[in-house]
Amino acid sequence: MTTKLTGTIQPYGWGSRTVIPDLLGIPPTGEPQAELWFGAHPLAPSIAAGRPLTELIAEDPKGIIGAAPVAAFGPRLPFLVKIIAADQPLSLQAHPSRAQAEAGYAREQAAGIPRDAQNRTYRDGWPKPEVLCALAATEALYGFRDPEETYALFEQLGVSAAVDLVAELADGSARPQDRLCRVFGRLLRLSDSERSVVREVAAAAASICSGETGRIGEAGPSEALRYFAATAVELSSFYPSDPGVLAASLMNRVSLQRYDAIFLPPGNLHAYLRGCGVEIMANSDNVMRGGLTPKFVNVEELLKVLDFTPGFPGLINPVLQPPGVWRYPTPTPEFSFWRLEVGTDPIELPGAGTGRIVLVTNGSVTLASGTAGGEALSLRRGESALVTAAEKVRLIGAADVFVGAPGVLDG
């Protein structure tokens, strides 16, 4: 069975007012539309054949998802596909490993904290690794910069109170991870009376960005310092006294172009600043936040989850399989992820034997069934479909297509 999906729009305040309406070919509402979800998340399941996808899966999990994924993950779709469209920064956030999620969920259940409570940290027992593949220029914060480099940037910025707060970054007698952990925790725990340093840093950074610093004949700020300053200015414009502005200054800034992709494993601290892309992730709602948000911030639990190993591992290197098919490999068992460029020749839909979600981001395509009794389904830009485990499908047309599937068959 191949069935068109109707996704669910999430109107978070940081969302773009135009990107998702343009993708769907509908008039903007004037309100932010941050994410478009395709999948079977219990909070916002897609509609398939007039019913929530969660209901269809519950009736025939092996037939829809596949026997192997059900054996590995139970009778639920283990992944979620999203369009994300950000006009302003998201919160600093990280996600737990499976072991951390299972333990944290059990602990909060035993404590009687309602799953929808604002102070709930673990809403389920699943991890939430993610991949983001950019559809347009996208700016993100990802993991931690080398601590010595970060200390040098704070010194160049010249705010003495901030330099004092991060001085431990320069202590070469301790492991980089330990230095970053202690400084990061210190910054997030700033008292109200100490938070004036955030405005001092923002003012100094604004001077660098405007070119007001330095003397005639002196070299201007380095590219690294300009990016460092620009990030502080951008974040403080939305969160002027939030210690997350300083915590974010410990992080790597990453610029993505179209079809560049990053993998965000458990424990990775990240935040998107602006841009849009396709995300695939494990089907979880576990988010630990570290600032730049009015939502609940649990600093102690975040520190337990975070990986403070400095550095940026680089972009995902997509693997060309058949012509027109790129797989974005990750070590994550919950999902596999492909990008297809459908053109002259038909393309066999990857992920055979599992339930798949197909999303068209440009052009139009026909999903032609190779299964006896199957029917063709046409999709245009912004439309999505569920292809069940037993279905064999060829894609015909001219389109850019993303495909998500359970990762148990991923090589």
Render pLDDT for 250-287 as a digit per residue (tens, 0 to 9): 999 999 999 999 999 999 999 999 999 999 999 998 99
- What is the percent of the chain with per-residue pLDDT over 90, rounded to a whole number? 90
Residues 6+ apart with CB under 8 A from 339: 133, 259, 318, 325, 326, 328, 400, 401, 402, 403
Q: Is residue 8 part of a domain?
A: yes
Give the integer Cα–Cα distance in Å for 395 and 364: 10
| In a shared domain, residues 125 and 267 | yes
Check whether residue 245 and residue 259 sit in a common domain: no
Yes or no: say if 364 and 343 are a contact pair by the CB < 8 Å rule.
Answer: no
Domain assignment present for 308: no
Helix/strand/coil for 298: coil
Those residues with Cβ within 8 angstroms of residue 28's Cβ, 6 or more apart along the chain or in another chain = 17, 18, 21
7 and 110 share one domain: yes
**pLDDT tens-digit profile of 227-247?**
999 999 999 999 999 999 999
Write down the pLDDT at residue 1.
78
Same domain, 367 and 347: yes
Assigned domain for 306 exists: no
Q: What are phi and psi of 380, to 5 degrees?
A: -115, 180
pLDDT, position 216: 39
Q: Count of residues for the chain?
A: 411
Torsional sign, CA 288, 291, 293, 299: positive
Token reading at 174: 């301790």
Greater confidence (224 vs 411) lies with 224
Identify the band that residue 215 occupies on the pLDDT scale cut at 50, 70 and 90.
very low
Q: Look at the chain and report how many structural domains it folds into.
A: 3
Tokens of residue 299, six digits: 């600093």
Residue 171 forms part of a structural domain: yes
* 384 within some domain: yes
Q: What pLDDT score was predicted for residue 373?
A: 65
User: Which 3 state secondary structure label does DSSP give 405?
Assistant: strand
Torsion region of 402: left, alpha or beta (phi above 0 gives left; psi -120 to 50 gives alpha): beta
- Expressed as residue numbers, the domain containing 132 is 2-141+255-299
The overall longest dimension of the chain from CA atoms, in Å, is 77
Same domain, 115 and 260: yes
Whether residue 237 is found in the same domain as residue 342: no
Q: What is the mean pLDDT of residues 357-376?
A: 88
Residue 8's DSSP bridge partners are 37
Other residues' Cβ atoms within 10 Å of the Cβ of residue 392: 15
126 domain-assigned = yes
Of 67, 82, 45, residue with least CA distance to 276: 82
Residue 411 has pLDDT above 70, yes or no: no
Question: Is the domain of 125 the same as that of 270?
Answer: yes
Residue 238 token pair: 């939305």
Whether 183 and 125 share a structural domain? no
Q: Are 295 and 368 found together in one domain?
A: no
Q: Which residues belong to the active site?
A: 289
pLDDT of 54 above 90: yes
> Cβ(306)–Cβ(174) under 8 Å?
no
The reply to whether 37 and 161 lie within a common domain is no
Whether residues 37 and 134 share a domain: the answer is: yes
Residue 217 has pLDDT above 50, yes or no: no
Residue at 309 is within a domain: no
pLDDT in tens, 98-141: 999 999 999 999 999 998 899 999 999 999 999 999 999 999 99
Is the same domain home to 222 and 355?
A: no
Q: What are phi and psi of 364, to 5 degrees?
A: -145, 155
Predicted pLDDT at 42: 87
- Check whether 81 has a pLDDT greater than 50: yes
Please, how many CA atoms are within 13 Å of residue 322, restricted to the half-sphere of its CB? 11
Q: Domain with 351 in it: what CATH number?
A: 2.60.120.10
Residue 305 maps to a domain: no
